[in-house]
Amino acid sequence: GAGVSQSPSNKVTEKGKDVELRCDPISGHTALYWYRQSLGQGLEFLIYFQGNSAPDKSGLPSDRFSAERTGGSVSTLTIQRTQQEDSAVYLCASSHPGYEQYFGPGTRLTVT
């Protein structure tokens, strides 16, 4: 079946602009996660959605970052007033309740 998809695959934006990154999880997966990988770093947790529960936003680095998950499926990660340090690969993952998370290909964000 279809895996996790993300769009766009690459995004170049100017400092100060807002960006939206999209994630389509695997159908039926109730849990959805956002991570990011900065150059030379490991994967950093950002936010986690599980069903209708309030999301775990504890990994968001600043209030410029927000995420929504509509209808328990598609999720959008929004970064407002982008900064150069926001440049990274943003990865989305989904899972059934349990621990094996399946990742999308990521969105490479470059802030110039």
The Cα–Cα gap between 107 and 82 comes to 15
The Cα–Cα gap between 62 and 60 comes to 6
Residue from 19, 93, 109, 111 in contact with other proteins (CB under 8 A): 93
Are residues 45 and 60 in contact, defined by beta-carbon separation less than 8 angstroms?
no
- The DSSP bridge pattern shows strands 107-111 and 10-13 to be parallel
**Residue length, the chain?**
112
Residue from 91, 94, 109, 111 in contact with other proteins (CB under 8 A): 91
Shortest distance, CB of residue 62 to other proteins, whole angstroms? 18
Residue from 41, 52, 70, 84 in contact with other proteins (CB under 8 A): 41
Residue from 19, 35, 36, 69 in contact with other proteins (CB under 8 A): 35
- The DSSP bridge pattern shows strands 5-7 and 65-69 to be unpaired
Shortest distance, CB of residue 80 to other proteins, whole angstroms? 23
Q: Which residues bind other proteins (CB under 8 A)?
A: 4, 31, 33, 35, 41-45, 48, 50, 56, 59, 91, 93, 99-106
